[in-house]
Amino acid sequence: MEFTLPACNTTYRIADPGRIITPRLLVWQERVQANINTMREMLQQVRSDADLSLLCPHVKTHKSGWVTQQLLDAGVSRFKATLNEVDMLLGCGAREIFVAYPLLQAQAAWLAERMAAHREVQFYIQIAHPEHAAIWPALAKKHDFDVRFFIDLDVGMGRTGVAAERAFDLYRETSRLYGLWFAGLHAYDGHNYKATLDERRAITRQSMDLLLQILRHFNENQVAVPRMVVGGTPGFWPDFEYLNTQQFDAELWLSPGTWVLFDTTCGRLMPDTFAPAALILAQVVDQTAPDRRTLNLGHKRWAVDQGPVEAFSLPGIQAVKWSEEHTVVELAEKTQLQIGDYLALVPRHVCSTVNLWEYFTLVGENGEIVIEQCPIEARNR
């Protein structure tokens, strides 16, 4: 089986689809590597000496030890995660882990146990309110360790983070607490999803100017900011592009996640960059009308949170109806698709789609199965 996705002009091969029980999440080994290479090239377009050590990629996209290992091998040394991915990262030997999620008492106690058991790993947490910080002094005393925290800033997304005018006051309150050490500023601009690069550049200027204003306020009060963490997949490149023109004394980390597997939502925003590395292989199980076929998977296996799947391995196909276990598609005129035939679907939102699978099948350069069941260790946790 071989097909080309027109949107990214990428060819995919499956040497023996009959070996695969469908539906199945497939990941193409060469496509992951190509996306890693593309990321390196994009960073070097902005700054010629840039490399993947700039990244702190969010692993909630893939939740996979295999993908994490590819990133480690490529030179990525730190990772951003929710609490759910920590054990997977520890199992891969990650040495810097930023848990970028507001932690309450039980979650913080759980993480503190991991921190105490893995003192060779540098952990970071995020704080946006005094309540987040107040949990940690007792844990620091109990386990005899320091806690390095980022102040989480709201730079326009309105989801988590402290307002700009409260950021320095939060630092002063938090830095007085036992065991807590300031690691930097976290300015995730996940709202930067505008349709064109110029529109995203405009959002970048607003968000990054706010970040730099906060940084300058810290500096004016004789407080050094060691690091700044910015950027999701649509926004990381304009963020890096813009910040590269600015003067600041802080280490910069970029934290996109979706790029390594990619999906059609980001594909619309970022054409001619990355290409999907994770697709779902399905089969036709029924025919309900001359131009309609029913596939053997539904939204229990592809995430519907950003809309229905919209890209298929055959042109002119449209999803018209979906339920837990089935997806009904409408065919273009003269499209031949019989019961038992295969169809590959590209996730619209790969992060939440991956979480629906226990494992993926890893496909090699010539379409051969490299690993039949490659575990997604951090899914559904």
What amino acid is encoded at 22 in this protein?
T
Which residue's structure tokens are 């590959």? 344
Does position 216 have pLDDT exceeding 80, yes or no?
A: yes
Q: What is the pLDDT of residues 152-166, one digit of tens each?
A: 999 999 999 999 999
Extents of the domains making up the chain: 2-28+269-375, 30-263
**Residue 10: predicted pLDDT:** 93
Annotation: CATH topology of 30-263: TIM Barrel (3.20.20)
pLDDT digits (tens, 9 = 90+) for 167-183: 999 999 999 999 999 99
Q: Report d(CA 192, CA 235) in Å as an integer.
A: 6
Q: What is the pLDDT of residue 381?
A: 65
pTM summary value: 0.96
Question: How does pLDDT run across 278-312, given as a tens digit for each residue?
Answer: 999 999 999 999 999 999 999 999 999 999 999 99
Of all residues in the chain, what percent carry a pLDDT higher than 90? Answer: 97
Question: pLDDT-based confidence at 8, cuts 50/70/90?
Answer: confident
CB 16 within 8 A of CB 381: no
Which CATH topology does 2-28+269-375 take?
Lyase, Ornithine Decarboxylase; Chain A, domain 1 (2.40.37)
- Note whether 162 and 170 are within 8 A (CB): yes
Look at residue 334 in the predicted model and tell me its pLDDT: 86
- C-alpha distances in angstroms, 89 versus 33, 257, 351, 373? 19, 14, 17, 19
Exposure of 355 in the CB half-sphere (CA atoms within 13 A): 13
pLDDT in tens, 71-113: 999 999 999 999 999 999 999 999 999 999 999 999 999 999 9
Q: What's the pLDDT tens digit per position in 222-277?
A: 999 999 999 999 999 999 999 999 999 999 999 999 999 999 999 999 999 999 99
Whether 356 shows a pLDDT value over 80: the answer reads yes
